[in-house]
Structure 1
Amino acid sequence: MERRERIEVFLDLLSCTQPLYFWEYDSDGSLLRSTCPAEKMLDTIFRHTGCHEFLMDTQESAPILLAGGARLMWIAACEYNEKLPVRYYVLGPFFVSETCADDMAELLRARAPGTSEEWRSTLSAVLKELPVLSLPFYSQYAVMLHYLVTGEKVSCSAIRYLPEEQDAASNFSNLKVQTPPKDRLETYRAERALLNAVREGDLDGATAMLQASGIARVRQYTDSPLRNAQIACTTFAAICTRAAIEGGLSTTLSYSIGDAYIKSFFLAKSLSEVVDIKDKMFLDFIHRVHTCRTNPKYSKMVQGSCDYIELHLAEPLNIETLASRLGYAKYYLSTCFKKETGCSVNDYIKFARVERAKILLSTTNTSIDKIAEQTGFSSRNFFAATFKRCVGKTPAEYRRETLNV
């Protein structure tokens, strides 16, 4: 049986269960034929998501899954002649889970310029008719299509995702340009920033959460976006619990708090509710650790001074600033601060800035010049000299050692 005949039989069998549109492109990427009634519209989406470009650029001889954002995907296989691609065969598109209104709106906003409201309405109707396939089904279809095209039998583990390792549930704000996968080191840095914020009781930890929000991605554990978020947040609750214990919060209290939030995640009825609970949990742990780390021997004046310093490290700080901001006499504040903490205000500011710099060096890829600025040092040279006196290493050496790169 010829390849084309085998494909037709395969498509007939698919039509009995989950009908998928079939597409055939030549080596230049021109569409030769399809079974899609909305051919022009969905071909436009295929191209604007960047999936068409990735397929044309690939040299893969394995089954391919193309992620187009908003959980929209395609299956592809390449036909080669003397190691040169001559045909590209595609099934799809399909969704890997039920879509929500926000996902659909995001996809529609990424339309080609100049399209009318009627076009968008028609596209919305077309997308709503697309099938939803779970992992076992689309993985099987991928290896089947690959076999029909190449004659090679492979397992589902051979399937390649393009762009490589991108999560199908990634949030694309502009589908015209396919962004490369995030650097794992960047993700690791973001995770460290989050955990350090809890461990240190850093009241400015919301900054770490905002930085990480553009990096972290919810993995596609199930076909339910809500359940995926619940699972991901359960993992986050577990590591926050451990970070809080390391920060000094009692084991019993930490686990009780973590368990209560995990229960709340699974009682939530929407993604937005899960996100709100996650943010509340993160800040709750930070405030509790901060409270337990607050030195009970410090007076209200000295503790308030410490808190002000921690929250304003990037700004000019000295005893005059503290006295003015907090409403105390300079000499009285300086004397009490030295008596209670064992160091001068200036030394405390210096040590606090170095500690914040250590966190930034180990959890971000921010330049050393920028870190010096963000921690209130007047120059990179002064920052480097102060850092080495306190830590015994230069900022660059400390970064290399803590990231093990």
Structure 2
Amino acid sequence: MEVFQSMALLAELVQCGGPIFTWCYDEKGNLLRSNCPDEAFLSGIFGLFGCKQQMMEYGAAHDTPITLGTALGILWAAAFEKKNGELKRAWVMGPVFYQDVSMRGIEQGLRYYSHLETSVSWTMHLQQVLAKVPVLQNTILHRYTLMMHYCLTGIHLEISDINSETPPKVYDPTYTPAHDRHKVWMAEQGLLQMVRTGDLNYKQALSNSMTLSAGVPVHSDDALRQSKISVIVFTSLVCRAAIEGGLSPEEAYALGDSYIQTAESAKTLDDLNPLSLVMYDDFIRRVHKCRTNPKLSRPVQQCVDYIEMHLDQKIRAADLAAVVGYTEYYLTHKFKAETGLCISDYIKFAKIERAKVLLKSTDQTVQEIAAALCFSTRNYFSRIFQEVTGQTPVEYRGG
């Protein structure tokens, strides 16, 4: 317990200087805890670029800390907690950049990992996340690493005792990471389903889908051309999903053509990089608007939107009443009169619709989805899911 308390204090002190996160892995490489808000995605990056495997292999054989680098200029530092000479836990700090890196530099770094199958959506999210990664001088990271080692072992080391590992300059053709094309398809379907439903809460679900590190790669010697092709393909898919969601073909195709033309006109990667996210958000908001029931009063529509944005929480009629400034009694009657459903049933149906997306677009377990949508138990979630859809969650996922 003392180790966790010491590391928690160190994590707080380090964060006083910037958003540098701390991670803890068990002896098998399973993530136990972190203080990172984008935990799933960045933990996936740590594994995808081979840093986690390298850390675990090094930690099993050595007692001294290590810094781990990637071709993108990202660094992590790791120190090891041992018991009777055996690895017990690996503690990680990062990621950080060791120098300022432009979006173009990140694009060029990704070309080193061209053997990985990275989807358009995954690359979008990577760029968004890396834009928030701080720059930290190597000497400062090394001092943090020595502090981390001391918290775990009580032993003072010198900077020269830290082992530094960086990727080779030339792509290693023998490195073949595992991937699963079925998961890729699931993730892409999840992204498109959020467009079809006009899901304003897409950012959380988008993050879940994009932790899958696979997709259909598009290779080119010209990084700008490669990115343009990716944006154009993604825009075409989103455009068709928006039509399926109710957006008129005239509006959808005109909007898609506009974004494609903007992509073609981009002169630099920095001009192009934000375009996919802007386009995706634009289409989702337009689909949401066209799906909004014009018969609903503004307060009831506010309640509907609030429910959609808070499906991961326990929502009560009293919460909705506070949002619109009505009494709970008045709102419950008004809501049912306009929607035909009582508030609790509407929330239940909305949560099941989100569950259907997660079942088809992620590899989260039924238990994890039930917890993510704030159902009290897995059995209760399964029972409600079957009442609404006529299938169990497992049957729906396999269908």
TM-score (norm 1): 0.57
1:118-145 deviations in Å (ceiling 9; x for gaps): x99xx99x96xx9x9xxxxxxxxxxxxx
- Match of 1:283, as an amino acid? D
Tell me the equivalent position of 1:33.
Answer: none
Alignment of 1:10-25 (within 5 A): none
- Match of 1:382, as an amino acid? Y
Distance in 1 (CA, whole Å) between partners of 2:384 and 2:183 is 27
Distance in 1 (CA, whole Å) between partners of 2:208 and 2:223 is 22
Alignment of 1:3-402 (within 5 A): 101-102=105-106, 162-164=174-176, 180-214=177-211, 215-216=213-214, 219-401=217-399
Query: Residue 331 and residue 357 in structure 1: after superposition, are their counterparts in 2 closer, same or farther (change >3 A)?
Result: same
Distance in 2 (CA, whole Å) between partners of 1:283 and 1:202 is 10
| Consecutive unaligned residues in structure 2, runs of 5 or more | 1-48, 55-69, 73-102, 113-135, 143-158
Distance in 1 (CA, whole Å) between partners of 2:214 and 2:271 is 18
TM superposition shift of 1:327? 1.6
Distance in 2 (CA, whole Å) between partners of 1:226 and 1:104 is 10
Tell me the equivalent position of 1:79.
Answer: none
Partner SS, residue 281 of structure 1? helix
- Match of 1:193, as an amino acid? G
TM superposition shift of 1:224? 0.7
TM superposition shift of 1:218? 7.0
Is the CA contact (8 Å cut-off) linking 2:104 and 2:270 kept in structure 1? no
- Match of 1:187, as an amino acid? V
Distance in 1 (CA, whole Å) between partners of 2:283 and 2:275 is 12
Partner SS, residue 259 of structure 1? helix
- Match of 2:302, as an amino acid? G
Tell me the equivalent position of 1:36.
Answer: none
State, as a whole percentage, how many aligned pairs show the same letter.
39
Distance in 2 (CA, whole Å) between partners of 1:301 and 1:375 is 24
Higher gyration radius (CA) = 1
- Match of 1:221, as an amino acid? H
Is the CA contact (8 Å cut-off) linking 1:387 and 1:395 kept in structure 2? yes
Query: Residue 295 and residue 389 in structure 1: after superposition, are their counterparts in 2 closer, same or farther (change >3 A)?
Result: same
Partner SS, residue 219 of structure 1? coil
TM superposition shift of 1:280? 0.1
Query: Residue 218 and residue 268 in structure 1: after superposition, are their counterparts in 2 closer, same or farther (change >3 A)?
Result: farther
- The one of the two structures with greater contact order (alpha-carbon pairs below 8 A, sep at least 6) is 2
Is the CA contact (8 Å cut-off) linking 1:206 and 1:283 kept in structure 2? no
Distance in 1 (CA, whole Å) between partners of 2:210 and 2:270 is 14
Tell me the equivalent position of 1:41.
Answer: none
TM superposition shift of 1:326? 2.6
Distance in 1 (CA, whole Å) between partners of 2:105 and 2:311 is 42
1:342-401 deviations in Å (ceiling 9; x for gaps): 111111011111111111111101111111111121111110111111111111111111
**Stretch moving more, 314-323 or 240-249:** 314-323
Is the CA contact (8 Å cut-off) linking 1:314 and 1:374 kept in structure 2? yes
Partner SS, residue 207 of structure 1? helix
1:177-226 deviations in Å (ceiling 9; x for gaps): xxx13211221121011101111000011224334444255734321111
**Stretch moving more, 235-244 or 203-212:** 203-212
Is the CA contact (8 Å cut-off) linking 2:181 and 2:215 kept in structure 1? no
TM superposition shift of 1:103? 6.1
Distance in 2 (CA, whole Å) between partners of 1:101 and 1:259 is 29
| Consecutive unaligned residues in structure 1, runs of 5 or more | 1-47, 54-68, 72-98, 133-159, 165-179
Distance in 2 (CA, whole Å) between partners of 1:341 and 1:194 is 27
Q: Superposition RMSD on alpha carbons, in Å?
A: 3.6
Is the CA contact (8 Å cut-off) linking 1:190 and 1:208 kept in structure 2? no
Query: Residue 388 and residue 103 in structure 1: after superposition, are their counterparts in 2 closer, same or farther (change >3 A)?
Result: closer
- Match of 1:253, as an amino acid? E
Tell me the equivalent position of 1:95.
Answer: none
1:154-198 deviations in Å (ceiling 9; x for gaps): xxxxxx96445xxxxxxxxxxxxxxx1321122112101110111
TM-score (norm 2): 0.58
Distance in 1 (CA, whole Å) between partners of 2:386 and 2:105 is 53
Distance in 1 (CA, whole Å) between partners of 2:206 and 2:267 is 23
Distance in 2 (CA, whole Å) between partners of 1:243 and 1:103 is 28
Is the CA contact (8 Å cut-off) linking 2:180 and 2:214 kept in structure 1? no
Is the CA contact (8 Å cut-off) linking 2:295 and 2:338 kept in structure 1? yes
Query: Residue 234 and residue 70 in structure 1: after superposition, are their counterparts in 2 closer, same or farther (change >3 A)?
Result: farther
- Match of 1:222, as an amino acid? S
- Match of 2:366, as an amino acid? I
Distance in 1 (CA, whole Å) between partners of 2:396 and 2:322 is 36
Distance in 2 (CA, whole Å) between partners of 1:353 and 1:343 is 14
Distance in 1 (CA, whole Å) between partners of 2:353 and 2:107 is 41
